[in-house]
Amino acid sequence: MASIMMTAMPFAGHARPVRSVAAELVRRGHDVRVHTGRSYAGTFTDVGARAVPWAAPPDLDERDLAATFPRMRDRKGFRQVLVNLEDLFLGTAPAQCDDLVAEHAREPWDLLAGDPMALGTRFAAEHLGTPWATVSPIAYWPPGRGIPPTGLGLTPAHGVPGRVRDAVLGAAAGAGTALLTRAYQRTRRDAGLAPDRETFATMWFSPQLVVAAGVPGLDYPRGDLPAHVWFVGDLTDDGRAPGPSALPAWWEDVLRATVPVVHVTQGTANVDPHDLILPTLDALADEDVLVVVGLGHRTDPLPGPLPANARVAPMVPYPHLLPRTSLMVTNGGYGGVLQALRHDVPLVVAGGDLDKPEIAARVGWHGAGVDLRTGTPRAGAVRDACRRVLGDPRYAATAARLGDELRAAGGARAAADRLEDHLAR
């Protein structure tokens, strides 16, 4: 039995994948602790891990980040990305590090396995000199040869015009990320660490081992991934699927549906229904489909009457819903996209900010769905995209091919295998 400390940012899209790996490690007999926000402590104790709630970092509510970080108020797009990085991820990292160093002094561990966005993991690993691995619920898509600049939602270009485009945009993107790299170096000083050579693209990830959600087939073709990076597919824990009592009252409508079921979600972060849910309901109101809306953390009713072919619930359990779904319309959250593809479901993606334009671009480039190239699409664009995907079996075939790759990657069991191998070395 080993003692393993894990970290997870207190967000649903981060805590749930880390939980599935923690649960697998506990099942194998390891002593697992998880450093996370207080709101997610129970998520880990439920699977037998020991929660170590944030003490020095400010507690936060992912549904109202502006209450803790006022600069986030009314921010979307690139401005939201900047404030997220500066105030939330970089800003809380030194305090995360303080917590971890104090916990190690109280009870040492054999391995630190961290969420990449919990940047205090890196700082604590350097202070303590302990073995360190990254367990990444976010996409690991670093810059590389033939890969367009990250963050712009671009697909690979070929020939001289493509190389010129990538060179020009790469230089511009490099100037922008240099500012963030300098902010990272300032944060290192705040954490009592000397400068290092990491860049904005690399500072999140362990140089020893990266266990990453996803599969190579969802990225653009590349041959330059480091040998310490392993893709393990979808880290969702379907073994914890809720029973029938968690299903909405209208679930029988899904079971009896003779038309395609279209699931619509905006994930668990930006949940303003005017961005995607309402345009999709408008787009599909007269289509021969059954629309199932998952509101995520939103609890307020949707404005206005629902179309006759729409059903709504705060959360719809994916192990029950996705096997019956023909198409997902999504804002491009990575966890939801991986779950859809693992169930062979093609996508229409409205990726507006953070990493979502990159996810949308790859889905569209591979042909597993349509990239709407905006986070706030018009109803007509959503309707046209849904008709394309439902009407062309090649989209479902590509989703099924990626689904085969995701299922074969092993999920939480493969992640635990890699962490155990790292411990053995």
Please write the tens of the pLDDT for every residue from 82-134.
777 888 899 999 999 999 999 999 999 999 999 999 999 999 999 999 999 99
For the cut 90, the answer to whether the pLDDT of residue 79 exceeds it is no
Task: Report the range out of 65-69, 93-97, 168-172 with the highest average pLDDT.
Answer: 93-97
pLDDT at 301: 78
- Strand-pairing partners, residue 345, are none
Residues 149-159 have pLDDT tens digits of: 887 788 888 88
Do residues 194 and 269 share a domain? Answer: no
* pLDDT confidence of residue 180: 85
Q: pLDDT band at residue 244, thresholds of 50, 70 and 90?
A: low
Q: Are residues 206 and 254 in the same domain?
A: no
302 shares a domain with 253: yes
Nearest residue to 425 (alpha-carbon basis) of 194, 135, 111, 82: 111
Mean pLDDT score, 228-250: 82
> pLDDT-based confidence at 178, cuts 50/70/90?
confident
pLDDT value of residue 70: 76
Asked which of 61-65, 254-258, 388-392 is least confident by mean pLDDT, the reply is 61-65
Residue 148: predicted pLDDT? 85
**pLDDT given at position 90:** 93
Q: What is the mean pLDDT of the chain?
A: 91
Residue 139 to residue 39: CA distance in whole angstroms:
24
More confident residue, 236 or 34: 34
In angstroms, the CA 122 to CA 132 distance is 8
The mean pLDDT of 328-348, rounded to a whole number, is 96
Count of domains observed in the chain: 2
- Is there a single domain that holds both residue 324 and residue 419? no
pLDDT band at 139 (very low <50, low <70, confident <90, very high): very high
**Is there a single domain that holds both residue 115 and residue 48?**
yes
pLDDT the model gives residue 240? 62
* pTM strictly above 0.95: no
Residue 141 to residues 199, 231, 345, 355, Cα–Cα distance (Å): 14, 11, 22, 10
Answer whether residue 239 shows pLDDT above 60.
no
Q: What percent of the chain has pLDDT over 90?
A: 71
Block residue for tokens 């000199």? 129
| % residues pLDDT > 70 (the chain) | 95
Q: Are residues 149 and 197 in the same domain?
A: yes
**Domain interval for residue 98:** 3-237+409-424
Cα distance between residue 122 and residue 187, in whole Å: 12
pLDDT at site 64: 76
pLDDT value at residue 243: 67
Q: Which residue has the higher pLDDT, 238 or 201?
A: 201
List, in sequence order, every residue forming a beta bridge with 349; answer none if it has no partner.
Answer: 330, 371
Give bridge partners of residue 7 from the DSSP assignment.
35, 114
pLDDT at site 10:
94
- 283 in the same domain as 143: no
For position 78, what pLDDT does the model report?
Answer: 59
Do both 251 and 161 map to the same domain? Answer: no
- Same domain (yes/no): 248, 219: no
CATH number at residue 379: 3.40.50.2000
176 and 310 part of one domain: no
With a cut of 80, say whether residue 362 has pLDDT above it: yes
pLDDT tens digits, one per residue of 186-221: 999 999 999 999 988 899 999 999 999 999 999 999
Q: Are residues 30 and 150 in the same domain?
A: yes
**Same domain assignment for residues 180 and 190:** yes
**Which has more confidence, 209 or 425?**
209
